[in-house]
Structures are given as C-alpha cells and as structure tokens.
Amino acid sequence: MLFNSLEFIFFLPAVVALYFLLPHRFRWILLVIASYYFYMCANVKYVALLFAATIICYLSAIWISRSANRLIRNGLLILTLILLLGPLFFYKYFNFFSGAFNSTLEQFNIFYKFPYHNFLLPVGISFYTFQALGYTIDVYRGNIQPEYHLGKFAVFTSFFPQLLAGPIGRAASLMPQFEKKISFNYTDIRDGLTLMIWGFFKKVVIADRLSEYVNMVYDNPQAYDGGHYLIATLFFAVQIYCDFSGYTDIARVSARMMGINLMLNFKLPYLATSIREFWQRWHISLTTWFRDYIFLPISIAISRKIEKEKVLFIKTDLFIYIIASAVTWFVTGLWHGANYTFIVWGLIHGFFLVMYQWLHKKRIRVQKKIGIRSNNTVVTIIETFVTFFIVTFTWIFFRANTISDAFMITGKIFDFSAGHVINLFKFPADFYIAFISIGLLLLIEILEEYNQLVKKLHTFIRPVKWAILIALVLAVFILGKWDSADFLYFQF
C-alpha cells in the first residue's frame, strides 16, 4: 500500500478513528494489526522476515540485559547482527558479490560461477533492520531497558507510517510514546493535514513530474548531450528531495494524527553552507544512525590504540577521522544499493567531509585575518551554492545506472555543442509546471529557513490562508502524477 494511493486515503482515517475509539490498553493491538496489514499489501510472503526480526531482537535484548558475562553478551550481540543482517545481505547484496567474485575468478582463468537469485528485495528491509539493530545495541550499551511486552515491541518494529522508508526510529524516544495515553487533538489533525497536502504536492506534482525527464536521460544517456545531462541532474536533485521529504512529511503526519512524533528527517538540506551541514539536514535519521553505531565506535576503538601525535605525517585526530569516515561512507553507499555507483557516491561524500574537517579551522583563521565575519551574507550565499554544486555533482553517481554512464555524464555535462535542448516531457506544459512548482518550493523553503514563513502566514487573513490551501489541494489532484511509481527510497 502506497501513501500516494486511494487505498491509503481510506486506510489512514479508519485506523486513526479506531485508535481513538479504543481504550488505551488495546491500542497496541490495533497498531500491530494495521501495520502488518499495511506491510502485507506490499508483499505477503515477506512479512515473515519482519516478524522474525522482531522476535530475534525481542529475545536477544532480554537475554543481553539479564547476562552479566561479557563474553555471553558479546556473543548474543554478534549472533543478533548475523541473524538480522543475513537476510538483508542475501536479498540485497548476494547477486552483487556473486558478480564481483565471478569477475575476479575470470581474471585467473577460473570459470566457476557463483549462482544468482531472482528474489525481489523485501520493501523496507533496510529500514526496519536498522531500527531493530539500533534497539538491540542500545540495550547492549545499557542506554535503555529491554521491552518485555512482545506486542508493544512489535509496534516499535512495524509501526506502519515509518515501516517502508523511515524515519529510522530510536527506541528511547519512540517506545515511551506508545505507552503514553493520548487524547484526540483537533489541532494535530488540522496542522497535520496541511503538512500532508504539502508532502503530496512535493511527491506527485514535483517529484513524479521531474522523474519523467530524469528517467528518459539517465536510462539512455548515449542518446542525449550535455544540456540534457545538466537539466536532468538538476531535476534529479529536486526530485529525490521532494520524493523522500514528501514521503517523510506524510509519514510524520500519519503518526502525528495518533499523537506520535516521528524524528524530523529533513531540515531544508539544500540551504546548507557545507557538506557537514548538509548531512546534518539530509536523511537525519540514517545519518545519525551511522554516526552513533559505526563512525563513533570506530573512532573510539582506533583512538584507544594510537598514542602518537601523528600517523603517517598526519595528525592523529585527522587520521582517525579519515579511517572512520572511509568505512562509514563505504557502508553508507553500500546501504543504498548493490551497485558500484552507490559506493563511489558514498566515498566522494566521505572525501569532501574529510576535506572540510581538514580545512575548516584554516579557513576560519584566513577569514579573521582578512576581516570577514562568519555570518557574512555574501560568504553564506557562496558557500550555499558551492555545497549545492558538490551535492548535485555526487547525485550523478547516485542516479546513473552504471559507473561508465556516470563518468560519461560527468565528462560531457557542460558540453553544449549540440545546441538546442529538446523538451523530453510527454506534455510540453509539464516543463513550465515543473519550473513554477520548483520556484514555489524554493520560496517557501527560504522563508522557512529564515523563520519568516509562520510570521507571514499569520499576517494573512483567513480567506487567503484557505485560498492557498485550496490551491495546493487542487494542484495535487489536478496536476499530480497519481499513476507514477513507488517512492524512490522504497528500493533502498
């Protein structure tokens, strides 16, 4: 069941109505049933994987918390990691590594072929696996106590608004909310519906319209030239943001209608002034997950073993940052998909983050010497454009189907020798609708970034507010591409 489907439009109000009609002690039952039904609408047979992940983490967390033996605790954690990551590896990466091994063996004239499988990737497996793992690791670290009620824990691992594509929840903030007695709140519903309409606008009006152009170019790049590459890449930068942030808006609203606050996943990322700040604003739940469970543990482990001030002529703190970043961003790229393009995309971001870490203090010293303040408007605008350029450049590797396609596009993206750029939309008017919609998106996000949006809206008289809302609703239903495919992040 997709958020952008007629079924969900009926499903969500029904669940919310029953949620508030039921006594608090029975609400977890409704949420488990609704969540599993929601997941089974995607693929019935893969619901067993979700259930298995829930049981594994439920039991392992309890056993870990009860054991005082360090070896047993470590063994249980490792076993949990293997049992949870095993299915993820098999469905998502088995063919990728089989192909890599086969290619390597051929170089040595060994023609044994590792097998391939044709199973579909279970939707949401990367997200609920990481959420369950985070819970188990937090119990292992002693940060939280295990949940002894299996049904309530099942709500945490399967909560339908975030099940398919996040945000990846943390047990410390999410599970207490399921215990809280919540009453119907009209304001939550009203404000939530407004945000949901905006989320649908970003998804079906902007993202799905831009995907038409992007797919045409990136799925057959040999047929086009630099002008098309440039437009398609800029469109993809907007598409992936509107698609994923639109999903997150709808997910957060769906939960908020029941009084549950999901983690903020996007915070106007394209207005960031550095790569580091971009990743503090983009897919925040995943970024913080990798920070807490991969980057920091690696950094701490290495720092305990190095006593020198420099390693290979590099300051120790920078050396540790380089190693931890390389591992983290390799895994980040691989998490997004079994393709070399994602790995290169991740490592490029890791490289720019290392460069930022190395140059940041030097740049501040230079600015002070020449008398430029850190909040200088011109500097802020330049930094924002440079950051957007870097991020958009890396999107080429993220979206390209192969590494060779990515390098061909990067090599010719500014080659305009062919001259005229053809409008690749099925309907010519879509080109203008796309640009107007992007302009509206940019205007609203700039107002929001500078904390002016709420103030501006409060100055409107009520009929104007309703006119804007009605216009968005009409745009969603009239201009929206409701026959389009899934949300992009379902494939990850």
pLDDT band at 410 (very low <50, low <70, confident <90, very high): very high
Residue whose token pair is 């205007």: 443
Cβ neighbours of residue 101 closer than 8 Å, sequence gap 6 or more: 114
228 is known as an active-site residue: no
Q: Is the peptide bond before 161 cis (omega within 30 degrees of 0)?
A: no
pLDDT tier at 386 (50, 70, 90 boundaries)?
A: very high
- Asked whether the beta carbons of 38 and 11 are under 8 A apart, the reply is yes
What is the pLDDT, as a whole number, of residue 427? 78
pLDDT tier at 373 (50, 70, 90 boundaries)? confident
Residue 307 pLDDT greater than 70, yes or no: yes
Percent residues over pLDDT 70 in the chain: 94
Percent of the chain with pLDDT over 90: 54
Grouping H, G, I as helix, E, B as strand and the rest as coil, residue 306 is coil
More confident residue, 385 or 473: 385
* pLDDT > 80? residue 376: no
Task: Quickly state the pLDDT bin for 227 (edges 50, 70, 90).
Answer: confident
The whole-angstrom separation of Cα 192 and Cα 199 is 10
Q: According to the model, what pLDDT value does residue 479 have?
A: 82
As a whole number of angstroms, the distance between CA 121 and CA 186 comes to 39
**Which among 283, 336, 360, 420 is annotated as catalytic?**
336
* pLDDT tens digits, one per residue of 414-441: 877 766 677 777 778 888 888 899 998 8
Query: Cα separation of 410 and 395, whole Å?
Result: 11
- Categorise residue 353: left if φ over 0, alpha if ψ from -120 to 50, beta otherwise: alpha
Q: Go through 9-46 and write b for each residue having 16 or more CB atoms within 10 A of its CB, e for each that does not.
A: eebbeebbeebeeeeeeebbebbbebbbebbeebeeeb
pLDDT in the model for residue 458: 53
Cα distances (Å, whole numbers) of residue 393 to 302, 397, 398, 406: 32, 8, 9, 10
User: How far apart are alpha carbons 290 and 247 in whole angstroms?
Assistant: 21
CB 120 within 8 A of CB 154: no
Per DSSP, the chain holds a count of helices (H) and strands (E) of: 21, 2
Number of other CB atoms surrounding residue 187 within 10 Å: 7
Report phi then psi at 162, rounded to 5: -110, 5
Per DSSP, 146 falls in state P
Q: For the chain, what is the mean pLDDT?
A: 87
pLDDT band at 78 (very low <50, low <70, confident <90, very high): very high
Tell me the mean pLDDT in the region 298-312: 85
Average pLDDT over residues 302-331: 88
18 with 56: CB under 8 angstroms? no
Mean pLDDT of 18-45: 92
State both tokens at 141: 């670290």
Per-residue pLDDT, 451:
63
pLDDT digits (tens, 9 = 90+) for 167-205: 999 999 999 999 888 888 888 788 788 888 889 999 989
